[in-house]
Structure 1
């Protein structure tokens, strides 16, 4: 059985620091590269924490023949595979929130990947509810609803009032950040991110204020450091240097930092940078990153609260919006 000491030997990091990374301690000061190395090693070695071992035992410690025993159980479907999730603190935190809440409430939880949905009809139809984390294709959504109508989506709401969902208002959060950029007196604002609400809000508001420059708006497929670096490098090769960059996530912002510094430019003296998520390393970047703080762990916990309401007889579907807070630091 893998221990924290085994991970410590592989990563050359103390066991106490490894434990804080695994438990997503927001006060821990550690580089993003080292944090990802630790999480990757945890995944490769198959480390299971004492809490996780106890949680698994919850689902196996009862006698199925006992008519009086009605264990709580749910299935979590994650749209990211373990390797991709390791590099995405937002969705990692959602999963941890779900697992922690399940452990606290003695709920047996089993996780399956999206590529196994079609083959998992029996597994998905058995539990009292299914929590679907992330964004799925229409075919996957239809299958999930076919197998189990007690669906709880986290970070998406593809079926509207037919299922429960837990979200934050992406449009409102993006609008607040873009309005801050406009109010700062920007002349050449830039955006790096995916083709979704943050991009749409940026384009709409910048066009309304005659500030939109298509060459300064780069759409990437991945929310990662490398995509942020490539997109920022592309923007810096245009005729006009941007004065503010809205990075759709803090990971993207980290890549933008690197590209900006490689050109000999300063933050925020030459280019201001804004992110979204407020991951643990954002406060320790140089300079510290101004960002919109989201609450992914609480989103996961809320999904489990909705599950408990469902099994206690709630009939009306719920869509829960969690809040967000702008954290102003040195980069803006």
Structure 2
């Protein structure tokens, strides 16, 4: 069995320093480089702390190697609570960790990056949502194992799990077109990343534009986007309400409004009612996410279900695979599912998308 003394000798530090690092002592003053060297050396030598050795089950089977997990979220706590979809992603992570008896540390969005020592002390890190290239590079330096959830960092070296919302957008549009909807408006937002606005860069928005241009039906009047802002607040129901009002002011109103998420659809419902119109008789509405309240709206909302909890669960499983020795990268796509309800016409038959 490998000892702390052997790790200390390999790294060139004292046994006391190795012990404090491996036991996540927050009071230890040590460089991030040296801390990382100790952790990686212990891992390479298959060292197990006494605490982890004592966690073996009654049948002698070792517990999961994912003893401590850090969640880094791109939203602030209040913004996450306002979006049930992202609550679902986090709950998927937490429920899977509960089954594995894994300790969780949560870090929400702030003006500064997380403490590197916190990430380095974790067996693995799940990063939720959109992050800039600079942030991704920083995470790579300070995380032992990392998975992105609900975001594709476009890296051949980082595991990620997400849904193809661009492809799902095109499938929605194909079905709406087949059902006779011709003037299809889109209510959403620009992409906001790395402190900069990327006009028309959001995946659903881009897919909408590409589809309309491919079919020769693109009308800029029917594309209404909110001003980008930090923490995803531009996808709230208040923004959906204001944007929908501008759509309703058009000389020729759309047949149907596609919103970027269910929160914006709720705001759109309100704008339609205040205009003295009804859903779906005057204007139909369809959306994304299938948050719990969607089925209880009047009328119930047709929406593309994105399985947030499954994304969270899969992110944990990807970390376990890495800790168990997988040495290649996985980019996992969780299928979406269209839920047709009474906010628009329904196709003859439905299927998973």
Same fold (TM over 0.5): yes
- Corresponding residue for 1:217? 223
Is the aligned partner of 1:316 residue 2:328?
A: yes
Query: Which structure would you say has the larger Rg?
Result: 2
Aligned-partner Cα distance in 2 for 1:173–1:71: 33
Consecutive unaligned residues in structure 1, runs of 5 or more? 1-62
TM-score, normalised to structure 2, is 0.73
Q: Give yes or no for the alignment of 1:138 onto 2:133.
A: yes
Partners of 1:117 and 1:162 in 2: CA distance: 25
* Alignment of structure 1 residues 93-172 onto 2, 5 Å: 93-115=88-110, 118-172=113-167
CA contact (8 A) 1:274 1:331 kept: yes
- Say yes or no: does 1:304 pair with 2:310: no
Deviations 1:248-271 (A, max 9, x none): 111111100100111111111111
Query: Is 1:198 matched up with 2:204?
Result: yes
Per-residue CA distance 1:261-310 (angstroms, 9 max, x = gap): 11111111111110111111111111111111111011101111111111
Question: What's the counterpart of residue 285 of structure 2?
Answer: 273
| 2:260 corresponds to which of 231, 248, 255 | 248
Distance change >3 Å, CA 317–CA 117, structure 1 → 2: farther
C-alpha separation in 2, matches of 1:173 and 1:132: 23
Report the TM-score, using the length of structure 1 for normalisation. Answer: 0.77
1:208 aligns with 2:227: no
Greater displacement, 104-113 / 116-125: 116-125
Distance 1:290 1:159 in 2: 31
Q: Is the 8 A contact 1:117 1:144 kept in 2?
A: no
Q: Helix, strand or coil: the match of 1:191?
A: strand
297-306 or 115-124: bigger deviation: 115-124
Per the TM alignment, residue 172 of structure 1 is displaced from its structure 2 partner at its CA by 1.4
Between the aligned partners of 1:84 and 1:67, the Cα distance in structure 2 is 36
C-alpha distance in structure 2 between counterparts of 1:208 and 1:65, whole Å: 62
117 and 263 in structure 1: CA distance in 2 versus 1, 3 angstrom threshold: same
Counterparts of 1:321 and 1:66 in 2: how far apart (Å)? Answer: 36
Residue 174 of structure 1: aligned partner: 169
Corresponding residue of 2:241: 229
Deviation at 1:67, TM superposition (A): 7.0
State how far apart, in whole Å, the 1-side matches of 2:122 and 2:235 are.
32
Q: What is the deviation of 1:159? A: 4.2
